[in-house]
């Protein structure tokens, strides 16, 4: 297997571009420096390569077994759980007083990418459990924290979020699960939930479900929803596990990918009393759940990179070794030696596309996480608010863009291998199957687009969106004055598209204000995609500017003054070649991503509404009333 991630690019982003080591100016991170962070990255990489990845194919083949009402996951996952907990990875970013290590989210998110690259299915288990513990930490009573948090954080207990029902998927407000008040302050829970990731399994002694339900008598819709702690087994006041709580797994889904992640249908209270405890206040379920949901959406964006980057790196290694055809300079020579396919222009185009997208995904995730850290520790309220606003704005873009493009990268990686890529002999087809779920769960990417245009763009009167676009404008203006012709062009293209995004966003906002909802929602996903492409190019241009400064210094120190000696120097220095590649990657994005963004924005601006006005999509279809 090729690498699971490009470690050189990881280090470049963290320490040369984002400069995460400078977070130690805040008291929370004063114990950390660049050397410590590198040690954490080394340990994560070693664990992912040596332990996680060897179980990935086995988990895919073995899958999840549901027999006699019990759910079993691959036996090898027990060791992964033990190593994950013993290594302190479960509480990497948690407070010292919780037994955590207080590592920045920026480091935690990037290390999470290599674990996901090693085994996507398994990493969902600790991720969901930690999300549940975090909800209890934020909204739970002292008693609830005492009973549930420690066993979840050492993975003695698992954790889930339970939203979806058979007739209430994206339409959460239509749920039918009920909560009936009991005299002792608890609630009797009754209902069905489906698509519950790690909803039941044999890897934990107990599973704590965060369940959305409506208390009897509360209003319909999302405003009437509360959230409850519902363990599979009741927990006694001394912390010991008590009697079965009538949470029954009625089956597991047979899925396209993530075969070793049990996706369960759960029944609450069908065969007896199921007791839940209110988490937070009544009728605040959606507000509370969104804390976990926002974290989960960032993690899903991370999964887009986790599956696509190793697929790209595998394709790159294959292209360097696979020999087919001749070099284009020798195509008329029947006796010419076979060339490595990386010499063929079309293969190089695919590799460059995958390189640009995966590096942009990592930059997008890292930049979002850095703002999450800033919002967490900044003492200046304006700085804290600005960082929070950027995180809120970027969450739907990160989730949607990284998962959509992550799938496309795996597809292109498969194409690079030709027919061999379609075979299970190579890991790409599994990465493709595993990553596809990312655009579907934690809110489909269409819902992310609706969240972006309907909520995030207009937050605080649009100030957060305007502030981010202003930063892009300032960087573009600086690039336009750069002596490097590639960076200058990047700045010009980026500035033009940044302006176009701003104008289209204003138009969408005006349509919402005029209550013309159908047209902006029709254009929401193309707009999100365009914004993702602009932000991706902007972040790559930021990297390119840093790389140019580093490369210029190296060339000056080496006394390089002409093009021939420059080429020779790049061939002899891996660092110089790396920096040069960062500039060219950003230029590629400006010339390939931004025209796509411009076309999407032109479609949004056109007023085209054929999908809304068409009377029939097919002859057999019932008549559709135009919107």
Contact 13, 362 (CB under 8 A): yes
Residue 173: per-residue pLDDT: 82
pLDDT tens by residue, 578-598: 999 999 999 999 999 999 999
Average pLDDT over residues 450-456: 93
CA gap 597, 595 in Å, rounded: 5
CA gap 548, 550 in Å, rounded: 5
* pLDDT band, very low/low/confident/very high, at 388 (cuts 50, 70, 90): very high
Task: Using alpha carbons, select from 415, 432, 393 the residue that is nearest to residue 304.
Answer: 432
- Side-chain half-sphere of 410: how many Cα atoms within 13 Å? 26
pLDDT tens by residue, 262-312: 999 999 999 889 999 999 999 999 999 988 888 899 999 999 999 999 999
Residues in the chain: 627
Residue 16 has pLDDT above 90, yes or no: yes
pLDDT tens by residue, 352-383: 999 999 999 999 999 999 999 999 999 899 99
SS3 content of the chain, % helix, strand, coil (to 5): 65, 10, 25
Residue 624: per-residue pLDDT: 58
Residue 99 has pLDDT above 70, yes or no: yes
Residue 290: per-residue pLDDT: 86
CA gap 393, 464 in Å, rounded: 7
Average pLDDT over residues 435-450: 95
Compute the mean pLDDT over every residue in the chain, rounded to the nearest whole number: 95
Label residues 198-220 b or e (16+ Cβ within 10 Å = b). Answer: bbbbebbebbbbbbbbbbeebee
Tokens standing for residue 350: 């695919």
Residue 627 has pLDDT above 60, yes or no: no
Q: How far is CA 314 from the centre of its chain?
A: 21
Percent of the chain with pLDDT over 90: 89
Residue 559: per-residue pLDDT: 94
pLDDT tens by residue, 472-503: 999 999 999 999 999 999 999 999 999 999 99
Instruction: Cite the DSSP H helix spans in 514-573.
Output: 518-522, 524-557, 563-572
Residue 625: per-residue pLDDT: 58
Residue 626: per-residue pLDDT: 56
Percent of the chain with pLDDT over 70: 99
Residue 168: per-residue pLDDT: 76
* Catalytic sites, residue numbers: 442
The residue to which tokens 């420690």 are assigned? 150
pLDDT tens by residue, 24-83: 999 999 999 999 999 999 999 999 999 999 999 999 999 999 998 899 999 999 999 999
């Amino acid at each position: 297997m090729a690498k699971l991630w490009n470690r050189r690019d990881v280090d470049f982003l963290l320490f040369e571009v984002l400069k995460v080591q400078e977070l130690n100016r805040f008291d929370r991170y004063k114990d950390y420096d660049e050397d410590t962070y590198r040690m954490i990255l080394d340990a994560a990489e070693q664990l992912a390569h040596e332990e996680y990845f060897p179980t990935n194919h086995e988990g895919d083949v073995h899958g999840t077994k549901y027999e006699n009402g019990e759910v079993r996951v691959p036996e090898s996952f027990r060791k992964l759980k033990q190593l994950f907990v013993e290594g302190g990875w479960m509480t990497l970013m948690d407070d010292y007083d919780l037994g955590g290590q207080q590592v920045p989210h920026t480091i935690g998110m990037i290390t999470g990418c290599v674990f996901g690259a090693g085994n996507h299915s398994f990493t969902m288990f600790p991720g969901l459990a930690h999300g549940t513990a975090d909800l209890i930490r934020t909204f739970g009573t002292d008693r609830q924290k005492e009973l549930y948090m420690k066993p979840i954080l050492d993975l003695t207990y698992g954790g889930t979020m339970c939203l979806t029902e058979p007739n209430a998927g994206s339409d959460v407000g239509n749920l039918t699960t009920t909560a009936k008040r009991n005299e002792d302050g608890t609630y009797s829970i009754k209902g069905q939930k489906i698509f519950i990731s790690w909803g039941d399994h044999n890897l934990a002694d107990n599973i704590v479900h965060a369940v959305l339900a409506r208390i009897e008598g509360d209003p319909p819709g999302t405003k009437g929803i509360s959230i409850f702690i519902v363990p599979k087994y009741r927990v006694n006041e001394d912390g010991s596990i008590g009697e079965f709580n009538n949470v029954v797994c009625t089956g597991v889904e047979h899925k396209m990918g993530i075969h070793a992640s049990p996706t369960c249908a759960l029944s609450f209270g069908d065969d007896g009393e199921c007791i839940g405890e209110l988490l937070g206040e009544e009728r605040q379920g959606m507000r509370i759940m969104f804390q976990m949901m926002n974290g989960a959406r960032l993690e899903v964006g991370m999964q887009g990179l986790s599956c696509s980057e190793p697929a790209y790196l595998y394709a790159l290694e294959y292209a360097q070794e696979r020999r087919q055809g001749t070099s284009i300079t020798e195509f008329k020579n029947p006796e010419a030696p076979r060339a490595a396919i990386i010499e063929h222009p079309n293969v190089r185009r695919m590799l460059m596309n995958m390189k640009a997208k995966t590096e942009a995904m990592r930059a997008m995730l890292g930049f979002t996480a850095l703002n999450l850290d800033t919002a967490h520790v900044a003492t200046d309220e304006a700085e804290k608010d600005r960082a929070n606003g950027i995180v809120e704005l970027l969450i739907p873009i990160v989730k949607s863009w990284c998962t959509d493009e992550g799938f496309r990268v795996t597809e292109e990686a498969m194409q690079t291998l030709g027919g061999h890529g379609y075979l299970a002999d190579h890991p790409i087809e599994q990465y493709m199957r595993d990553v596809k779920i990312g655009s579907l769960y934690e809110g489909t990417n269409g819902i992310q687009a609706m969240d972006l245009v309907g909520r995030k763009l207009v937050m605080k009167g649009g100030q957060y969106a305007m502030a981010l676009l202003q930063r892009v404008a300032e960087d573009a203006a600086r690039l336009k004055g750069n002596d490097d012709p590639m960076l200058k062009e990047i700045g010009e293209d980026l500035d033009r598209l940044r302006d176009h995004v701003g104008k289209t966003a204003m138009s969408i906002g005006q349509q919402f204000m005029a209550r013309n909802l159908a047209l902006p929602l029709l254009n929401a996903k193309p707009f999100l995609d365009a914004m993702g492409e602009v932000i991706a190019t902007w972040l790559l241009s930021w990297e390119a500017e840093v790389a140019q400064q580093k490369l210029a210094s190296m060339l000056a120190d080496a006394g390089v003054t002409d093009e021939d000696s420059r080429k020779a120097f790049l061939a002899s220095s891996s660092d110089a070649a790396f920096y040069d590649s960062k500039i060219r990657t950003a230029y590629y994005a400006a010339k390939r991503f931004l025209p796509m963004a411009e076309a999407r924005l032109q479609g949004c601006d056109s007023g085209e509404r054929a999908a809304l006005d068409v009377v029939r999509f097919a002859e057999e279809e019932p008549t559709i009333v135009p919107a």
